[in-house]
Structures are given as structure tokens and as C-alpha cells.
Chains A and B, each alone.
Chain A
Amino acid sequence: MSDTHAVHHPPPSGFIQKYVFSKDHKVIGIQYFLLALFSVFVGMALSILIRFNLVWPGTEVGLLETLFPQGAPGGIMTPEFYLAMLTMHGTIMVFMVLTTAPQGGFGNYFLPIQIGALDMAFPTLNMLSFWLTFVSLVVLMAAFFVTGGPPTSGWTAYAPLSALGEVAGPGLGTGQNLWIISIAIFCVASLLGALNFITTVLDLRTKGMTLMRMPLTVWSWFVTAILGLLAFGVLLSAGVLLLLDRTLGTSFFIPGGLVVSDQMIDHTGGSPLLWQHLFWFFGHPEVYIAILPGMGVTSQILSVFSRKPVFGYRAMVYALFAIGILGFMVWGHHMFMSGMSPYSAIAFSLMTTAIAVPSAIKTFNWLGTMWGGRIRFATPMLFSIGFVSLFVSGGLGGLFLNQPATDVYLHDTYFVVGHFHLIMGVAAIFGIFAGTYYWFPKMFGRMMNERLGKIHFWITFVGVNAIFMPMHFLGMVGNPRRYAELTAFNFLSELEGLHLFITIAAFLTIAGQFIFLANFFGSLFKGEKAPVNPWEATTLEWTVPSPPPHDNFDGKLPEVHHGPYEYSLPGASKDYVMQTESASRKEPV
């Protein structure tokens, strides 16, 4: 036992070192979480503007003119402003919410504790990652306040629109530059973070924490970090090339002979498709960066609240890797419309379809985990079941989009909007909610309110289905994406009712999120005190006080003797066996 002693570290005493420039992975995790929480409400506010303009275009709103004198002169949103909101909504949600909360937030806080480490491998680097992310967010937000406003080129920043500069329209000057710089900083922050996560898993596991005893949350953060390490460098490179095209007159992405706004563009030979290839080589793994941590949390929670081991633990691990590896080979399915060779398209299509195999393994194993369990329907469990549901319904849409023939029809329609919101947006958000309700007691030492949590779940679950399911139908009847106004088109007039329904559903769902906010901050101060292990779970974070001390284990690293999911073992005295429980006791197998 002598080798499990570690030096006890007292926490830093100054306010700045303790809460602002902290090297403690737990503080950094909470910082990431709060950054994402702020961002998600900004992103939601933008979606209100988007949905508002779609059903009531041309409506005068005085407040809009006060807030955005350039974007809404006279209180009426311009189409360019609509596209700018669309761009910022996507960028903020994908980068600042879906990439930061599950990995930077929960991963930072719980990965070291779950493997029995004092901290991340490089605490200073960890602090740097967060603050770079913060700077990236500030730079991105600055785009709202510059002349021309935010860029209008979408979160994918397709060239040549994104490469031409001010001549292409408002927001494509300074706003687009800020966007690129922000994303470049974000890439650096994510690369450093990924490196830190992988090193921590490889080198910092405590005694007895073999790879196959790691909770699936740790596996999912690990695979996510590998994806981040390999993907963000490519986006960084693409961003550098784009910035050079915009500032130094190179022609990487800008073709010759372009005439924009009655001006001849002085560039030759560049390839807009090159941007798409580079972007989507990052962009598709990014989808998994957003969703894999949600899969990890879901696996964890389904097991804890079904009081059963995860069904097929090893298969779950291998499926994570399979999804990660395949994720790098399918970027072309975002480009079926680009005129690529049908042979390439078939290859990308087959690879994409192949992802259904590990995805189905995970889904069936989740169902298998719940099957026959003594299920406790607490809020984290509801959100995890919701995750499985959304993952399935969102994933089924993918089966239509991964066929080049059907994608050509559906690609620029609301079908895609519905599809990616369900599977990448909302499913990942459900993973975040599940994680929040599950780990809040550990992070803040208080329980969240169950009743409010359940109300929040049902509003959100019904709400998101009411918003995004009908979008599939809109797409099938040919409702195009990215149009600022739909009311001007005769062939869409019959769909106005459905759009109104979606808008109202969106507003109600967003209103429901304030219940979450109230629950979160209310419980922070008034919640019931949380015991060490309120959910009767087995992993290491539930062996330490809530919240854990500065160095996690109070100077004595744990020793692990059990797998992470030993529930309801026959012959055991209670229905769960902590990972740290002594092995000298007769192992119930």
C-alpha cells in the first residue's frame, strides 16, 4: 500500500489562482462548462431570430434596431443579417457548446478522477487550453460589433464566398477575418487539450486501473481526444490558407474569372472544392467529437440507473474506435453535390453506411443494458434514454442522406437541417444535460431538483421532436435551406403553417430551458446537500467527497480492484461493488 501514497497538495490560496487562472482540472472543467452555458444561450437567442424571420419576415421590431443598427435598419432584419445569425448560431453551437461542454467541461472534471489521477497530465497546458478557448470566444463575439457585422458564409465558411472579402457582401470583410482567427485559436486550444487528455489516459491511471477497467466515459473522452488531435490541425491549416487568400492575395481557393458585385476578381486557378475537402476532413470527425462523449455518459448512466453492467463492455469500446476511425473516411458524403466522380461517391457512401454497424452495436447494447434492469427513472436516466431515442431517430435520417442519389435531392433542403440537429445538436445536448444532472451533486455538493428536472426533460424531449421531426417532411417536399424568407415563394405557401408550428415549438422549448437554468443556479445555493455517492454508482469519483478536495484523493491515490460496472452481482452483499473495494474479499462472480 505504501506506493499508493501521493504528496498532499494544499489548494492555492489567492482568488485569482484558485478561480481564474487555476491549474486545477476541476476548476477548469467548470470554467469550460460555464463558457458553454453562456454560449448556448447566445446560440439559442440567435435561433429565436432565425425562426422569427422565417415566419414573420419584414416585421418591425424596435429592439432589433437598437441592438443591431446595421443588421436590422428600421427594426427589419435584412437577408444578410439572417445569414449572419445563421452563421453565428452554427459556429457558436458547434465549437463553443458541443465541442467544449462534453469534453472540456465534463472530461476535464471527471477524467482524472475516474482514472485515479491527481490532475491532468499537464495542468499548466490545461489552463492555457481554456484561456485560449476563452479568447477564441471573445474574438468570435467581436464579430457582432464590427462594421458589416458577422460573416454570412455559414459555419462551414465555404469558399469562394468566405475568401473574397468585403466585395462579396457585409460581414465578409472584418467579420469573416475575426471568424477565421477565432477558429484558428480554437484549433490550437483543442489540439493542446486533446494532447493533454490522451497523455492523461495513457500515463496517469492509478494502480489497478487497467484499460479495460476504465469507465466508458473515459474511453469516449479518449477516442474524442484522438479525433481532435488528428482533425483540428487540418482545420487550422485550412484556416491559414483561407486567411492568406483574403489578406495576401494568394489563390488557394479562389478560381479565376469570378465577377462579384460587378467587379472582376483578380485571382486565378484556385479550387473552392479544396476548401470543402479540407473543411470536411475536419468537419466529419467534429460530428463525432460532439457526440462520442454523449455516448460515454449515456452508457455510464444507463448502467447505473438500470442497476446492471453495461451490456457488451468490450464491444462498446471497439465500437467507439470503429466510429472514430470510420469518421475519418467519410468526409466526401458532405460533398455529393460537388460534382465528384460517382465512383468516389459510392466509396464514401459505402463507408458512411458502414458506420451504421458500430452505431447499431452501441444502440442495441444500450437497450441490452436496460433490458430486465431495475430501472430508476431519475432525471439523468431520462436524458440518457432521450439520447438513445434521438440518436436513433436522427441516425435514421442519415440512411437517406448517405445515398448519393437521394442526397442530391435532399441536400439543400430542411431534411438535412432536421437530420443534423437531431443527431449532432440535440442528441449531444441531451448527453450534456444527462451529464449535468448526473454529476452536479459531485461538482457542487448539492442535489438538483428532481421535479424541475423531469419537467425540463419532458418539455425538451417533446419540444425538440416537434421542432426537428417536421423539418424532415419540409425537406422531402422541397423546402430549401438557408433562405432568409420563405413567404415570398408560392410553392412554399402551403408549408407556412408547419413553419409556424416549428417556430412556436422552438420558442416553447427555449422557454423550457430557463427551468433548467433556474434549477441549476437555485440548486447551487439551495439544493439538498449531496452525499458522497447519491446514485450508488461504482466509479472512482463517487468515492471522494462532494465536491472533491483540491488534489482529488486527499493525498492517497486509490487502488482499483474491479471493473466499472459491477451491479447486481449474485452473492454480493449490496447491489453494486465499488471499483476500489478490496479484492481480498471473496470476489462475487
Chain B
Amino acid sequence: MATLAPPPPRTEKPERRRPSGGGRGPTPPHGLGFGGEGGGGAASLPESRYYTGMWLGLAGIVMIFTAFTSAYFVRKGLSDDWRPLALPPLLWVNTLLLVASSGTLEMAKRSYPMPRPFQRWWIATIALGGLFLAGQLTAWQQLAAAGVYVDTNPSSSFFYLLTASHAVHLAGGLGALLWLTWRLFRGGLTKLAVGVTALYWHFMDGLWVYLMLLLVIWR
């Protein structure tokens, strides 16, 4: 039977340290411990860095997809060889799966640290995420079976590019979920790790909805 780590002793939500001149109220100590990170120099670094780092990472990812989007419009607008792509209907099912997985992950996050509901929602998220990736793979196979490959038309090039780039990022998120599951069973899972992973996962969900809109509206 899996057990959850006890909730962090100090705070439920990692507090943002506001290092400022003296007299601005108490500053939390530098020695904020982080369970399970023994040994390295990381032990005294503040926990807020994980959220900050994730937000910044997401900003970097936004720029990658912004560049793709910009290329999409330029390539579509400048040429006369663009043929609109008929999206496989399966994508709508996949979209539902991914949106649902965001919901289950949010439920898992909110039920932390109650072992039973947390595990249920957590496993459901992983299953939905896995199903989404399998669904994407199937959608690619359907397109290929219909003779639509990456070099068939710029529209199909962009379709494969955008969906594959998203899938790579989502697979990273799934990897994080699985890794945390391992930690969950070993008893080292923290609310912080769940929260940061959920942030990434929700972002990937939103990114997918955006890509669907792009591919549907500006075919």
C-alpha cells in the first residue's frame, strides 16, 4: 500500500521570500529544508524557486510555439500551394481526454495529502495523459493511411510539426508524473512537486487547445 509523505512541516504553499532591507517585516530563514534533497548545495535554497523556474520555462516554451505560429501564418499567407487539411475527428476525442486529465490532476492536487482520493485522481491523470498520446499516434497513423505525410503539403507539414512538438512536451510532463508516482510509492512526494507539475500539465493542456483552434480556424 502506498503511503504519502507527510505534508511539509512548515507551509502548505511555498512562501515567496521577499528579501528586502531590514524593517520590512520578518524574512523567512534561509535554511528552508526540502525533503529528500539531502547532501547537495540545494538544501538551503528557497522553495519558491521551483515555481519561478517553471513559469520561466513556460515563457521559453511560449516563444518556441510563437515562432511556429508566426511561421504558420507567413507560410500560409505568402504561398499559393496551401491546401487546407481535414483534421482526423479523433483529435476532438483526444482534446476531451487532455482537458479531462487537467481536471483530474487539479482534483488530485486539491485532495493532497489524503492518500485515497489523491491516488485515484493521480492515476486517472496518468491514464488520460497516456491515452491522449496514444490517440495522437493513432491520428497520425490515420492521416498517413490517407496518404497525408509531413511533406505532402505545407498544411500537413505544420500539422505534424505542431502536434509532434506538443507531444514531445507532453511526454515530458507524463515522465514527470511517472517519476513523481515512483516518489509517491517511496514516500517522498511533496505538495510543491505536485503543484509545479500540475502547472506544467495545465499549460500543456491550454497549449493543445490553442493549437486545435489554430489548426481548425486557420486551416
Residue positions of A touching B, CB distance < 8 A: 2-7, 9, 23-24, 117-119, 121-125, 191, 194-196, 198-200, 202-210, 213, 229-234, 236-238, 240-241, 244, 248-252, 256, 268-271, 274, 277-278, 281, 550-551, 557, 559, 561, 583
Contacts and interface: CB of A to CB of B under 8 A. Distances in A.
16 contacts: A5-B29, A6-B31, A6-B44, A9-B41, A123-B41, A204-B45, A206-B30, A207-B22, A208-B19, A208-B20, A210-B20, A233-B63, A237-B68, A269-B82, A278-B71, A583-B22
B61 interface: yes
Which residue among B43, B64, B82 has the maximum number of chain A CB atoms within 10 Å of its CB? B64
Nearest to B79: A269
Contact of B41 (A119, A198, A203, A232): A119
A206 B28 CA distance: 11
A252 B79 CA distance: 10
Contacts of B21: 208, 210, 213, 561
Contacts of B79: 268-271
B66 to A, nearest CB: 7
Contacts of A583: 22
B70 interface: yes
B161 A249 contact: no
Nearest to A208: B21
Contacts of A244: 150, 157, 161
Contacts of A5: 29-31
B54 to A, nearest CB: 9
Tell me the dominant secondary structure on chain B's binding face.
helix
B76 to A, nearest CB: 10
Contact of A270 (B27, B66, B75, B150): B75
Nearest to B41: A119
Interface string B35-47: 0000011111110
Given A210-B20, A234-B64, A281-B67, A252 B52 contact: no
A31 to B, nearest CB: 16
Given A7-B31, A7-B44, A269-B81, A195 B56 contact: yes
B52 A199 contact: yes
B13 interface: no
Contacts of A194: 56, 60
Contacts of B22: 207-208, 559, 561, 583
Given A232-B60, A248-B150, 20 more contacts: A4-B30, A9-B41, A24-B41, A118-B45, A119-B41, A122-B42, A124-B42, A191-B57, A198-B56, A203-B52, A204-B46, A213-B21, A233-B60, A234-B63, A237-B65, A237-B71, A244-B157, A244-B161, A269-B78, A270-B79
Contacts of B1: none
A196 B41 contact: no
Contact of A203 (B44, B48, B80): B48
Contacts of A209: 19
Interface in B53-100: 53, 56-57, 59-68, 70-71, 74-75, 78-82
Given A123-B42, A248-B150, A252-B71, A557 B60 contact: no
A196 B53 contact: yes
**Residue among B52, B67, B74, B82 with max Cβ neighbours from chain A (10 Å):** B67
A271 B44 contact: no
Given A122-B49, A122-B53, A199-B52, A271 B40 contact: no
B154 interface: yes
Given A118-B45, A244-B161, A205 B74 contact: no
Contacts of B157: 244, 250-252
A4 B16 CA distance: 17
Contact of A3 (B30, B41, B66): B30
A487 B79 CA distance: 42
Contacts of A202: 52
A290 to B, nearest CB: 19
Interface of B: 16-17, 19-22, 26-31, 40-46, 48-49, 52-53, 56-57, 59-68, 70-71, 74-75, 78-82, 150-151, 154, 157, 161, 165
Interface hub of A23, A191, A203 (most chain B Cβ within 10 A) = A203
A335 to B, nearest CB: 13
B30 A195 contact: no
Nearest to A228: B60
A117 B53 CA distance: 16
A281 B68 CA distance: 13
A2 B26 CA distance: 12
A207 B30 CA distance: 9
Contacts of A270: 75, 79, 154
A249 B63 contact: no
Instruction: Give the 4 A-B residue pairs with the shortest CB-CB distance, closest first.
Output: A233-B63, A249-B151, A237-B67, A269-B79
Contacts of B74: 271, 274, 277
B67 A233 contact: yes
B64 A271 contact: no
Given A6-B44, A9-B43, A271-B79, A203 B67 contact: no
Contacts of B71: 237-238, 241, 252, 274, 278
A123 B43 CA distance: 11
A195 B60 CA distance: 8
Contacts of A238: 67, 71
Contacts of B63: 229-231, 233-234, 237
B218 to A, nearest CB: 16
A237 B150 contact: no
Given A5-B31, A198-B56, A252-B157, A278 B150 contact: no
Nearest to A195: B56
Contacts of A7: 31, 43-44
Contacts of A191: 57, 60
Nearest to B28: A3
Contact of B49 (A4, A204, A234): A204
A203 B49 contact: yes
Nearest to A200: B49
Nearest to A557: B30
A75 to B, nearest CB: 43
A250 B43 CA distance: 48
Chain A CB within 10 Å, residue with most, of B17, B57, B62, B71 = B71
A121 B150 contact: no
A208 B42 CA distance: 21
Nearest to B78: A271
Given A119-B45, A208-B21, A233 B64 contact: yes
A252 B75 contact: yes
B53 A278 contact: no
Given A121-B52, A207-B22, A271-B79, A233 B61 contact: yes
Contacts of B20: 208, 210
